Amino acid sequence: MSVREEFDDWATSGRDRGMEERHWNTAKQALMRMPVEPDDTILDLGCGSGYAGRALRATREAGRVYGLDGSTEMARNATGYTDDENVGYVVGDFDSLPIADDSIDHCWSMEAFYYATDPVETLRELTRVLRPGGTFYCAVNYYEENVHSHEWDQFISVEMTRWSRRQYRDAFRDAGFHVAEQDNIPDREVTIPDEADFPLEEWDTREEMVERYREFGTLLTVGVVP
C-alpha cells in the first residue's frame, strides 16, 4: 500500500484526531521550543490533522503556515478544521517538496519523517526550502533506542526508517544542517496504571510502559541551516 492509500484510510476513519491526541503531550513541549517570531512562515511536514501549524498560529503569531501531507484525505480533514486563511494544507511528497527555495523560516515534523522514501533526500530538500538560519524541528517516537517502538513497522504497510540518535545527527550534518539540539522529551501526562493492573493488552509490565513514556518519550533533533 502507498503512503497515500494507507493514510487516506486513517483520515477517513477519523484516526487523524486520535494521532493528534497521542502526539500532543510531547509535541506541545517541542513546539514551545521553536524560535518562531511573529509573521514567520512555517512548514509542517507530514501534518496529519494539521494541529501543530494551527497551534503556532494561535500561540506564536506565525505568519503563514503550510501543512504538507502525502494523503489527500488528511489534507482535506486538516482544511476542514480551520477557517484561518493564513493556514493552508497541500498534498505533496517529502522527497520533492512543492515549495520555493529559501521561503520557509521553520519546519516542524512529528512522527512523520521516518516514512520518507529517501530521508536523506528529504533533509536536502529541507535545506533548500529553509532560509539561512531556518530550523527543522524533527520529533519522532520510532527510533533505535526506543526498543518499545521496534515492532511498529509490522502494523503498517509503509516502509519506515529506524535511525538512532547518532544517525539522526549524522544525517542532518551530511545534508548541510548544524545540529543545534537533540533531546528526549518525556510524556508525563499519559496515564500509567497501577502495578496491579498489568499485564495490559499492549504492555507486559509497568516498568516497560514507564520506560517508553517517561524515559524515552519523543526524540527531538533540531537542525539549523547555516
Ligand X SMILES: C[S@@+](CC[C@H](N)C(=O)[O-])C[C@H]1O[C@@H](n2cnc3c(N)ncnc32)[C@H](O)[C@@H]1O
Q: Using the rule CB under 6 A, is 9 a contact of ligand X?
A: no
Return the number of other C-beta atoms located less than 10 Å from residue 73's C-beta: 19
How far apart are CB 37 and ligand X at their closest, in Å? 23
Q: Which amino acid is at 44?
A: D
- Cell readout for 159 is 516502509
Question: Hey, which residues between 71 and 110 contact ligand X (CB under 6 A)?
Answer: 71, 74, 93-94, 110
CA-CA distance, 103 to 99, in Å (whole number)?
Answer: 7
CB neighbour list of residue 84: distance below 8 Å, 6 or more residues apart: 54, 57
Residue 11 makes CB contacts below 8 A (sequence gap 6+) with 71, 73, 74, 76, 77
Q: How many residues bind ligand X (CB under 6 A)?
A: 21
Footprint of ligand X on residues 175-204 (CB under 6 A)? none
In this structure, the dihedral spanned by the alpha carbons of residues 48, 69, 28 and 129, taken in order and rounded to 10 degrees, is 180
Residue number with CB closer to ligand X (4 or 206): 4
**Nearer Cβ to ligand X (117/198):** 117
- Rank residues 116 and 224 by Cβ distance to ligand X and give the closer one: 116
Q: What cell does 128 get?
A: 533548500
Binding mask 32-71 for ligand X (x = CB under 6 A): --------------xxx--------------------xxx
Compute the half-sphere exposure of residue 57: CA atoms within 13 Å on the CB side of its CA.
Answer: 19
Among 30, 104, 116, 129, binds ligand X (CB under 6 A): 116
The residue from 40, 105, 111, 187 that contacts ligand X (CB under 6 A) is: 111
Instruction: Considering the complex, state which of residue 46 and residue 134 has its C-beta at the smaller distance from ligand X.
Output: 46
- Where along the sequence are the contacts to ligand X (CB under 6 A)? 3, 7, 19-20, 23, 27, 46-48, 69-71, 74, 93-94, 110-112, 115-117
